[in-house]
Amino acid sequence: MQDHDVVGIGNAIVDIIGQCDDAFLARHRRTKGSMQLVDAITVAELYDAMGPGIEISGGSAANTMVGVASFGGKAAFIGKTSNDQFGEVFRHDIQAAGVTFTTPAAAGGEPTGRSLILVTPDGQRTMNTMLGVSPQLGSQEVDAGLIRSARILYLEGYLFDRPQAKAAFRQAAEIAAKAGRQVALTLSDPFCVDRHRPEFQEFVRASVDILFANEAEIASLYEASTFEDAARRAQSETKLAALTRSEKGSVILSGGKVVEIAAAPVARVVDTTGAGDLFAAGFLFGVAKGRDIETAGRLGSLAAAEVISHVGARPVANLAELARRQRLLA
Amino acid sequence: MQDHDVVGIGNAIVDIIGQCDDAFLARHRRTKGSMQLVDAITVAELYDAMGPGIEISGGSAANTMVGVASFGGKAAFIGKTSNDQFGEVFRHDIQAAGVTFTTPAAAGGEPTGRSLILVTPDGQRTMNTMLGVSPQLGSQEVDAGLIRSARILYLEGYLFDRPQAKAAFRQAAEIAAKAGRQVALTLSDPFCVDRHRPEFQEFVRASVDILFANEAEIASLYEASTFEDAARRAQSETKLAALTRSEKGSVILSGGKVVEIAAAPVARVVDTTGAGDLFAAGFLFGVAKGRDIETAGRLGSLAAAEVISHVGARPVANLAELARRQRLLA
């Protein structure tokens, strides 16, 4: 098996991205900036109501793996699609981006997962996700050889929302740990953390080497009222944590060390979808390549800035080239 | 039945848009700037080879109808989709754009049509279209009431490529003519014209009130070696013709009258897909609203400039608003 820098496990999702105004979100009782799981009926109602969309492959950990590949890293993805047209689109796009993706598609049953992403004029995204077949990821899909082939295993917190996917998630973490690999986790969403707090806390303590979270997620994990409180808890309970703070940049906590990274400049924020996913891509690429955590953080900021400057959650520019221009890569 | 300004008949297509370089086109024997019909095997091979894509609803006449609606006109579309995910995407997007679309989806059989659109760094698009279920448009789908409800019937030349669709096309033209409506035709593609030249010539003479063509298409129709020769033939054989010439603007021929329209300025040509479709949208909207042909031509140029400034063949900006800012609409 070819060596990989990172293997990600997450939901396989096609994003349907449309524009809307704040009144639309209010009318449809959506919480701006959140990710909400929706059923087939709600997704159909929302889709009927929203304007024209464009379809772009997404999925949090999948976006991160595409980012790692764009930096020139070797990335792989494990996730469940159906043998429908969206599944075909997802498979094509991630493979065309250079990511190893061999999870077989399910035949029939639930469709490939989709997320209706409503982007408001301020560039904020509100996600409404129908997971479809995605959480049917089972132990048979957890490719042990692939996981052992990668320096880092990257897990998407969203998978905690369904028992079968959560079991696959834990199984993957055990395989990686036994092989001496690092295990990274992104908390994905404050509401997801809220639904599974005790399990997340225990998993972070026992199994996670690198934790990714934004301000709301880390506050939710530790039920902290300030970012400082949450960061203190993270520092004592994790080996390495990267906490992202939107335009305030990010804070990297590594043992006793605290490194603050400024957000990279963006001419105009068009669509914030994927900002966290791409920060993780740059950071993971840096860590996998043995860079210091400050450089890893700056690679993360660079990738996040690229992805929020256009519609869609996957990079359009070549991130390795951008990083070379900034002298972050040789 | 509600009154419409224009009803369009054409192929229902979802575009899969990706970037490539000239070497990729050469390697896959594609003629830059053309539309080529491809079968399921070729489309799969090309899709495998191309980079990540984004999916946006397309189809020539469908794009034009969305443009008419964006100008504030009442537009309808007749075209065949399948009951698959791309069919659902096509239906959602055209309806969400405010276009009447009631053609029932086919159940099973051929999939919804798709076009792999390869965009080179110069903004040119090369289309590889698998028509799928689209040419199965039959007389049962030609909604006579809908056609009679519209001032103008707009026909997409691409439909000439399949006998059943061509029959539906002729049937629609007869219904419109009998009801005293105008019949407009776009030649769509020089190679399509070449495949059906005698029929196109006869149809233009006998049944067309408004002809749309670009330089290559009008030259192909009349086997002319210069644009001037082709334009002279068009002037003698049509009542009204709008000939588009990319950055050289367009020439409107109306009886003895010749009006030249400059191309509207574009900061950067990103993707020329849909330029002709959107020119037709502005022009048809102008004619349907009783504007003089110069104003209609300028509305066409404005819409074409908007659509080539971004990826995808449907307008992103509100065309009515753009036209008001240019004082082309009150």
pLDDT digits (tens, 9 = 90+) for B307-317: 999 999 999 99
The CATH number of the domain where B174 resides is what? Answer: 3.40.1190.20
CB pairs under 8 A between A and B: 58
Find the mean pLDDT for residues B219-246.
96
In the block, residue with structure tokens 């991205």:
A17
Residues of B in contact with A314 (CB under 8 A): 52
Please state, for a pLDDT cut of 70, what percent of chain A lies above it: 99
The answer to whether position B118 is within a domain reads: no
- Contact, B139 vs B49, CB < 8 A? no
* Position A267, amino acid: A
The answer to whether position A39 is within a domain reads: no
Tokens of A135: 């959480």
- Among B54, B110, B116, B314, most A C-beta atoms within 10 A, so best to mutate, is B54
Selection from B209, B70, B202, B82 nearest residue B137 by Cα: B82
- Give the span between the Cα atoms of A105 and A115, in whole angstroms: 19
Q: Which residues of A268-296 are buried (b: 16+ CB within 10 A; e: fewer)?
A: eeebbbbbbbbbbbbbbbbbbbebebebb
Is residue B191 pLDDT above 70, yes or no? Answer: yes
The answer to whether position B78 is within a domain reads: yes
Tokens of A121: 């004029």
- Give the span between the Cα atoms of B228 and A167, in whole angstroms: 72
CA atoms within 13 Å, Cβ hemisphere of B97: 33
- Give the span between the Cα atoms of A108 and A110, in whole angstroms: 7
> Are B92 and A56 inside 8 Å of each other by CB?
no
Task: Give the pLDDT confidence of A288-313 residue by residue, as tens digits.
Answer: 999 999 999 999 999 999 999 999 99
Nearest neighbour of B50 by CB, restricted to A56, A66, A96: A96
Q: How far is B193 from chain A (nearest CA, A)?
A: 31
Neighbours of A11 (CB within 10 A): 29
Tokens of B212: 């749309």
pLDDT at A103: 97
The angle subtended at Cα A62 by Cα A3 and Cα B40, nearest 5°, is 95
- Give the span between the Cα atoms of B309 and B317, in whole angstroms: 11
Q: How far is B142 from chain A (nearest CA, A)?
A: 25
Q: How far is A283 from chain B (nearest CA, A)?
A: 23
Q: What angle, 0 to 180 degrees and rounded to 10, lies between the N-to-C axes of helices B293-308 and B60-70?
A: 110
For chain B, what is the largest distance between any 2 Cα atoms, rounded to a whole number of angstroms?
A: 51
Residues of B in contact with A57 (CB under 8 A): 52
The values of phi and psi at residue B270, to 5°, are -95, -40
Strands (E), A42-102: 54-58, 75-78, 100-101
Within its chain, how far is the Cα of A56 from the centroid?
Answer: 15
Give the ranges where chain B is alpha helix by DSSP (H).
22-27, 40-49, 60-70, 85-96, 144-148, 163-178, 190-195, 197-207, 215-221, 227-237, 275-288, 293-308, 319-325
Domain span at residue A220?
A: 4-11+60-103+132-325
* pLDDT confidence tier of residue A204, bands split at 50, 70 and 90: very high
The answer to whether position B160 is within a domain reads: yes
Is residue B185 pLDDT above 80, yes or no? Answer: yes
- Tell me which residues of chain A have a C-beta less than 8 Å from any C-beta of chain B: 16, 18, 47-48, 50-57, 66, 84-86, 89, 92-94, 96-97, 111, 312, 314
In the block, residue with structure tokens 């009447």:
B100
> Are B57 and A52 inside 8 Å of each other by CB?
yes
Tokens of A238: 């994790």
* pLDDT confidence tier of residue B2, bands split at 50, 70 and 90: low
The answer to whether position B300 is within a domain reads: yes
In the block, residue with structure tokens 């399990």:
A199
Q: What angle, 0 to 180 degrees and rounded to 10, lies between the N-to-C axes of helices B275-288 and B293-308?
A: 150
pLDDT at A2: 66
Is residue B161 pLDDT above 90, yes or no? Answer: no
State the DSSP string of B11-62.
Answer: --EEEEEEE--HHHHHHTT--TT-EEE--HHHHHHHHHHS---EEEEE-HHH
Q: How far is B76 from chain A (nearest CA, A)?
A: 16
Nearest neighbour of A93 by CB, restricted to B52, B86, B89: B52
The angle subtended at Cα A188 by Cα A302 and Cα A137, nearest 5°, is 115
Is residue A1 pLDDT above 80, yes or no? Answer: no
Residue of B nearest to A53 (CA): B93
Side by side, which strands form the sheet with A250-254?
Answer: A100-101, A75-78, A4-9, A150-156, A182-186, A210-214, A240-244, A250-254, A257-261
Please state, for a pLDDT cut of 90, what percent of chain B lies above it: 91
Neighbours of A324 (CB within 10 A): 13
With a threshold of 0.90, tell me whether the complex ipTM lies above it: yes
* Position B119, amino acid: V
Task: Give the pLDDT confidence of B21-42 residue by residue, as tens digits.
Answer: 999 999 999 999 888 999 999 9
Tokens of A117: 């992403």
The answer to whether position A272 is within a domain reads: yes
Is residue A34 pLDDT above 90, yes or no? Answer: no
Find the mean pLDDT for residues A196-225.
96
Task: List, in order, residues 6 or more apart from A32 with CB less than 8 Å away.
Answer: A22, A25, A120, A124, A126
Within its chain, how far is the Cα of A228 from the centroid?
Answer: 24
Nearest neighbour of A86 by CB, restricted to B54, B85, B97: B85
- Among A24, A54, A94, A307, most B C-beta atoms within 10 A, so best to mutate, is A54
Q: How far is A47 from chain B (nearest CA, A)?
A: 8
- Give the span between the Cα atoms of B50 and A20, in whole angstroms: 31
Is residue B165 pLDDT above 90, yes or no? Answer: no
- Contact, B77 vs B65, CB < 8 A? yes
Rounded to whole angstroms, what are the CA distances from B218 to B17, B190, B192, B238? Answer: 27, 8, 12, 12
Neighbours of B144 (CB within 10 A): 15
Beta bridge partners of B244: B214, B250
Rounded to whole angstroms, what are the CA distances from B59 to A270, B13, B98, B215? Answer: 27, 5, 16, 20
Beta bridge partners of B152: B6, B182
The angle subtended at Cα B327 by Cα B323 and Cα B330, nearest 5°, is 85
The answer to whether position B110 is within a domain reads: no
Within its chain, how far is the Cα of B208 from the centroid?
Answer: 16
Burial of A163 (0-12, 13-18, 19+ CB in 10 A): exposed
Task: Give the pLDDT confidence of B281-323 residue by residue, as tens digits.
Answer: 999 999 999 999 999 999 999 999 999 999 999 999 999 999 9
The values of phi and psi at residue A166, to 5°, are -65, -40
- Tell me which residues of chain B have a C-beta less than 8 Å from any C-beta of chain A: 16, 18, 47-48, 50-57, 66, 84-86, 89, 92-94, 96-97, 111, 312, 314
Task: Give the pLDDT confidence of A41-62 residue by residue, as tens digits.
Answer: 999 999 999 999 999 999 999 9
Residues of A in contact with B313 (CB under 8 A): none
Q: How far is B57 from chain A (nearest CA, A)?
A: 8
Number of domains in chain B: 1
